[in-house]
Amino acid sequence: MILLGLVGLFIAPGLADYNINVNDNGNVAGSGQQRVSINNAHNVANVDNNNGWDSWNTIWDYENSFAATRLFAKKSCIVHRMNKEVMPSIQTLDALVKEKKLQGKGPGGPPPKTMTFSINPNKVNDLSQFGTNIAGMCQGIPTYMAEEIPGENLPLYSNKCYDANIFWILNISFCRTTEEQF
């Protein structure tokens, strides 16, 4: 009986859904407050960035290998494949955020990794292909697919990007090549 209790004690944290709040008051860009929710049972991480009209929400669905960011100012949702070579695993994300929160610091470690995406101007019609988590978040708003672009092509996208930087871990830019509103 005691053995079962100890096993339950060690397994329960791996199945937990919990939140980590980090205020990024020192951020010059004014990213406001970010919150990470990690659900290990469903292999999903959710990041909320609360900064008034520039707020956004992102879901990283590790099980389906897709991520989506809902841009409130643009009233749209951007979906892309997860690049697991750049994006941290769910365990690494969890550890990084906890470490920085417990140490009371944000920036100061290694520079964040950067990813830039080109947004396809055609709306996505079938959200179910991205899994239930992303389909639920993007339901009812214009949704677009984005492809990661290599760094050497960035001059084509100058001043047409929307940034969704995740703490001091990852800088993501969603860009378009035309003046069309996405």
What confidence tens digit (pLDDT) does each residue in 105-120 have?
555 667 788 899 999 9
Q: What is the DSSP string of 38-69?
A: EETTTTEEEEEEEBTBT-EEEEEETTTTEEEE
Output the pLDDT for position 137.
Answer: 96
pLDDT at 57: 95
Q: Evaluate whether 114 touches 171 at the Cβ level (below 8 Å).
A: yes
- Give pLDDT, residue 178: 63
Task: Identify the pLDDT of residue 139.
Answer: 96
Q: Give pLDDT, residue 153.
A: 53
Residues 6+ apart with CB under 8 A from 3: none
Domains and CATH numbers, the chain: 2-175 (3.30.390.150)
pLDDT at residue 109, rounded to an integer: 66
For residue 18, the model assigns a pLDDT of: 44
Helix, strand or coil, per DSSP, at residue 95: helix
Predicted pLDDT at 166: 82
- For the chain, which ranges sit under pLDDT 70? 1-31, 100-109, 151-159, 177-182
